[in-house]
Amino acid sequence: MPTLNEPVTERRRITRNSIYRYLYQAQTPRTKQDIAQALAFSLPTVHQNLSELLAAGLVERGALQRSTGGRRATGMAIAANARFAVGVSVTQERFRFLAANLRMEEIAYRSEETGLPPHTADAAALGVRLAAALEHFLTDFGLNRNKLLGVGIALPAILDAQGQTILFSPTMALNHCRTADLTQALPYPAHLANDATAGGYAEWLTQGSGSSLAYLSLENGVGGAVLLGGAPYHGLNGRSGEFGHICIVPGGLPCPCGKRGCLEAYCSAARISSDLGLTVEDFFEALARTPAQYQPLWEDYLQHLAIGIHNIRMILDCDIVLGGFLTQYLAPYMPHLQALVAAQSPFQENAGYLRLGQYPKRAIPLGVALHFINDFIQKL
């Protein structure tokens, strides 16, 4: 596979990178004149850099959308499939693999059972399974390993700030183990992240990474991520955005963390599914069919969720995006939820800052793959 000539001076790299990023942000093809004008470079500079990017397969010619009267003019665009990254959401039960190209588009997806017995506390054994399943995924979808930037792994776990140690993962029994134990069987660059952090990263990056948002993930666990002023905020201990364990009812329902009254105790997906012997889908069907039976629990769920959302808003004063698999059912209830949230506010705001995420099902593997995509685009 062709690569860019290395090394170049840092100044030349920055010039080339700014041309690449201009084309990346442009979405549609641009001419050399467009680039020169927008970035205040000379035409020969633009020409030389485009030649290098073209030779490396990172940009390609594309038809311009504007009409020039005569023959169809062409411009330059980034080659979306020149590289890709894989994200894997790992739980005790499942691997969910997603491959994303440079445009952050999904190009392959597979969900499969890990085949491990429950509560296997062996990171190396898990890593060997993961490595084998990854190779099958790459082969079965015909993905070119030479174009693979890296493999992101998202875990329901708290990692240390350097990503070297899994500090705490009650659902996976992987406490205080080295992340290298999990990744050593992988022959590719690897990056580990907390699952909710990865989900929040996907929502934040695809909406424009300069913005700020709080991401509240509603799955069997309730978690989140904080992305402020153009960067993820991890906190001193990698525990920022642990919204599931803010206390909303002192002395209230018991939480899996061992404390009482946490948001997770009230707003876990399990509360409206496995605790009732139902799936989440069953619950919403039952809610529509026999509201008299299920509405009180659902109203209680939404009222506690509104308290949690309000508290996040009071602390961070930024947009709040709801993610996690539960959100695929939430659209019909959003006006009511927004009204409940707005009723909490002393500032008479209408809760328009609260919205559903774009990727209810696949934000986690997408987000952890995007770590490599964003890194490639920034550093090219």
Q: Is 134 in the site for Zn ion (CB under 5 A)?
A: no
Note the residue count of the chain: 380
Spell out the residues 6+ positions from residue 148 whose beta carbon is closer than 8 angstroms to its own.
Answer: 83, 84, 85, 86, 138, 188
Q: Which is nearer to Zn ion, 229 or 251 (CB)?
A: 251
Least separation in angstroms between residue 327's CB and Zn ion is: 21
Least separation in angstroms between residue 169's CB and Zn ion is: 15
| One-letter amino acid of 16 | R
- What three-state secondary structure class fits 320? strand
348: left (phi over 0), alpha (psi -120 to 50) or beta: left
What are the CA-CA distances from residue 5 to residues 16, 149, 335 (Å)?
12, 18, 54
Q: Is 245 in the site for Zn ion (CB under 5 A)?
A: yes
Q: Is 270 in the site for Zn ion (CB under 5 A)?
A: no
Name the H helices within the chain.
10-26, 32-39, 43-55, 123-140, 179-183, 195-207, 263-267, 280-289, 291-316, 334-344, 363-379
Among 102, 262, 326, 366, binds Zn ion (CB under 5 A): 262
Which 103-132 positions form the footprint of Zn ion (CB under 5 A)? none
Q: Is 234 in the site for Zn ion (CB under 5 A)?
A: no
Q: Is 257 in the site for Zn ion (CB under 5 A)?
A: yes
Least separation in angstroms between residue 323's CB and Zn ion is: 19
Q: Is 253 in the site for Zn ion (CB under 5 A)?
A: no
Q: Is 214 in the site for Zn ion (CB under 5 A)?
A: no
Least separation in angstroms between residue 240's CB and Zn ion is: 16
Least separation in angstroms between residue 197's CB and Zn ion is: 18
Question: Given the rule CB under 5 A, which of 242-250, 272-280, 286-294, 337-345 is the region that contacts Zn ion?
Answer: 242-250
Among 255, 305, 312, 351, binds Zn ion (CB under 5 A): 255
Nearest to 197 by CA among 92, 87, 107, 305: 87
